[in-house]
Amino acid sequence: MTKAACKYILLFLVLTTSGYCAESQQRPHDIETLFRNFFVEYIELRPETGSAIGLPPSYGIKVRHDELDDESESGIMKVYTLYRKYYDWLGEYDRTRLSKSQRVAFDVLAWFLENELSGEKFGNHTYIIHPLFGFHNSFVALMTQHHQIRDNTDAEDYIARLNKVENKVLQLIQRLGVQKKNGIIPPLYIVENYLRSLNDFIQVPYEENVLYTSFLSRLRSQETISNGTKARLCGQVLDELKNSVYPAYAELIKEVSAVRQVADRKAGVWKLPDGNEYYRYCLRTHTTTDMAPEDIYDLGLKEVERIQLALIEQFKKLGITGSDRFVDLLNKYMTSTSNTENERYFFPATEEGRIQTLLVYQAIIDSMQTRLPLMFSKIPRAKVHVMRVPAFKEKTIGTYYQPPKLDGSEQGIFYANLSYQHRKSDMKALAYHEAVPGHHLQIALEQEQSEARIFKTLFFFTGYVEGWALYAEKLAEEKGFYDNTHSLIGYLRSELFRALRLVIDTGIHHKRWTREQAYTYLLDNLGWSDYSQIDRYIVWPGQACAYKVGELKILQLREHAKEILGDRFDIKEFHEAVLHYGSVPLDVLEQLVNDYIQY
């Protein structure tokens, strides 16, 4: 994952420690101390994620909820200096003297640090004008979803953060200037969409802005704060919106407008300085493999063909025949099932229909929860609930999962985007992917492991995490949980979607496809396309390839275990081997599975 994007997708990592010296200058004698110190020093440098993680007091780590990340060039260089120090220190330990769980943690940290340092020269390649993880989304999410309002101190910290927005935006503007000078400019349509989001944000009256309404609704529920204090705090928030936040947005709009004047329509990162090397680095970061772009492209073509043949067999069961071409059969199916007013296929486009959508997702998850013991020996204690994607995110993000807070203040959340009608036949695969047995089961189990090291909350190995979630969809198919042809087609289209991403991502960034080529390829092979999906692949190179690469690796390891163990193979034991240490690079996962086989 690219540097800045990694930091945002990893829950806006930010924490500090009370009474802790910000920089350890001597290597700790004990490896566990090193693991903890790395975490503490990292979050000292990046103060936005503690609010998202929700550390319990028992961790002994004080979170500075009144600070924002330092986005300046010097702030970013401090992070790389930290990486280099800990990477050098790791090399001084005798790995053979560590316990198994320590060796795994050692290998994970070493892989992460080595990969980050190998890509240091690309530290400013991630677009600041980013539709998914740009300031317009990340800051509002931090304040409205992660910054808790439980007492007067929390409220004062909220106001302090609003006051610091101008400085943060100034840092981003300075880096934007560096990117512009170096030719690191996103395509015109990305810039225009970003500008639209910024302008929409400040067109709203202060009293109706989500930064105020979210604060107000949460403050009202705090009985320990007097009404007079509440009135004062609300007035301060309005003042900060007027005097700090809106002016900062206006300055950012001015700078982004200047970038718009020089932006082109070229989609791929091949156009950036050392763009081909940068793309290979992105692929390695996300897939945690050294697969070449051409190999991933070829793998995608093979998977697309295989899955389309499986879909043709399902179409035949519905009487959809008359052509040898997949696209013809797909179009027949999509035409016959795409009437959004037909409640056999969609919920009504009403508030009642949207509520029904959430309830059905929850029912699917609850039903799967009862089946988990058939496949898993350990089930997470934390539950997962379905909620609507916040309105400010609806235009830029799809459905997603948010892990539980470590302090238990929030359970896992499966966010469904209700700005569009959900196809009923697609809902099971999506729920299994995002909740159980997908993301929620994997991430919540990792959080609850007694051997879990806190520093691993900083890492998101996409090949493993998204590979597991796609494997979870496959597992449901193998167990017969898609109980009708339409539901099975929904799963196969979901799998096909991830296979098409292998082709599209490498097509854009390696084969120099245009945005329109990518859109048409998705439409012709899936029966549906959306420019927002294509734009995601454009600004997040390599990430979309990790799903299929990770899933296929897990399936390959499972078949290897079956072949070696024969009658002794137990699916629950295999899943325990894969899940026990949580998110890891795929080569580390392979070693863990081999250890399980030999044991």
Domain annotation covers residue 578: no
Global pTM reads 0.93
Domain presence at residue 596: no
CB 178 within 8 A of CB 72: no
Other C-beta atoms closer than 10 Å to the C-beta of 344 total 9
Question: 530: helix, coil or strand?
Answer: coil
Using DSSP's 3-state secondary structure scheme, residue 124 falls into coil
Residue 22 has what pLDDT? 46
Lookup result for tokens 């982004």: 256
pLDDT mean by block of 10 residues, the chain; 599 residues: 38 32 76 95 86 80 90 95 98 97 98 98 96 94 94 97 98 97 98 97 97 97 96 99 98 98 98 99 99 99 98 97 93 95 96 98 99 98 96 85 89 96 98 99 95 90 99 99 98 99 99 99 95 97 99 99 98 98 98 96
Cβ-based neighbours of 57, under 8 Å, separated by 6 or more: 407
3-state secondary structure 188-256: HHHHHHHHHHHHHHHHCCHHHCHHHHHHHHHHHCCCCCCHHHHHHHHHHHHHHHHHHHHHHHHHHHHHH
Same structural domain, 256 and 355: no
215 near 204, Cβ under 8 Å? no
**Inside any domain, residue 206:** yes
Separation of alpha carbons 277 and 111, rounded Å: 19
Contact by Cβ (8 Å): 129, 191: yes
Residue 275 lies in a domain: no
Helix or strand or coil: residue 461? coil
Handedness of CA 109, 112, 118, 120 (dihedral sign): negative
- 51 burial level (CB within 10 Å; 0-12, 13-18, 19+): buried
Say what the alpha-carbon torsion angle 423, 367, 405, 440 is, to the nearest 10 degrees.
Answer: -70
Say if CB 548 and CB 502 are below 8 A apart. yes
Residue ending a domain, choose from 85, 101, 126 = 126
Residue at 562 is within a domain: no
Q: Are residues 57 and 147 in the same domain?
A: no
- Contact predicate 557/578, CB 8 Å: yes
Residues 387 and 502 in one domain: yes
DSSP string for residues in 281-347: HHHHHHHSS---HHHHHHHHHHHHHHHHHHHHHHHHHTT--S-S-HHHHHHHHHHHH--TT-TTTB-
Do residues 295 and 250 both lie within one domain?
no
Instruction: Report pLDDT for 162.
Output: 99
Residue 91 per-residue DSSP state = T
| Residue 576 falls inside a structural domain | no
Tokens of 97: 């003297």
Residue 439 near residue 469 (C-beta atoms within 8 A): yes
What pLDDT score does 21 carry?
A: 41
Structure token pair of residue 143? 């304040």
**Interatomic CA distance for residues 351 and 342, integer angstroms:** 16
Do residue 110 and residue 155 come from a single domain? no
Per the domain annotation, does 181 fall within a domain? yes
Reduce the secondary structure of 560-585 to three states and give it as a string: HHHHHHHHHCCHHHHHHHHHCCCCCC
Distance CA 265, CA 40 (A): 42
Q: 46 with 156, same domain?
A: no
Sign of CA dihedral 380, 382, 383, 389: negative
Query: Are residue 162 and residue 114 in the same domain, yes or no?
Result: no
Q: What is the pLDDT of residue 23?
A: 57
Number of domains in the chain: 3
Q: Are residues 292 and 183 in the same domain?
A: no
CB 263 within 8 A of CB 127: no
Clarify whether residues 308 and 395 are in a common domain: yes
Q: Is the same domain home to 288 and 356? A: yes
**Gap between the Cα atoms of 596 and 210, Å rounded:** 50
> In the block, which residue shows the tokens 């325990």?
576
Domain boundary among 93, 126, 159: 126
Token couple for 351: 């508030």
The pLDDT of residue 24 is: 63
Does 566 map to a domain?
A: no
What is the DSSP code (8-state) at residue 435?
S
Domain with 51 in it: 1-126
Q: What length is written for the chain?
A: 599
**Tens digits of residue pLDDT in 114-123:** 999 999 999 9
DSSP 423: B
| 341 and 488 inside one domain | yes
CA distances from 159 to 148, 192, 214, 236 (A): 12, 30, 13, 7
Tell me if residue 387 falls in helix, strand or coil.
strand
Which uninterrupted H or E stretch holds 385?
strand 384-388
Long-range contacts of 376-381 (CB under 8 A, 24+ apart): 376/437, 376/441, 376/572, 376/575, 376/576, 376/579, 377/572, 377/573, 377/575, 377/576, 378/445, 378/576, 378/579, 379/441, 380/440, 380/441, 380/444, 380/445, 380/447, 380/448, 381/444, 381/448
In 3D space, the residue among 69, 160, 140, 84 whose CA is nearest the CA of residue 115 turns out to be 84
In terms of DSSP H, where are the helices of 91-118? 100-118
Residues 117 and 133 in one domain: no
Last residue of a domain, one of 126, 160, 192: 126
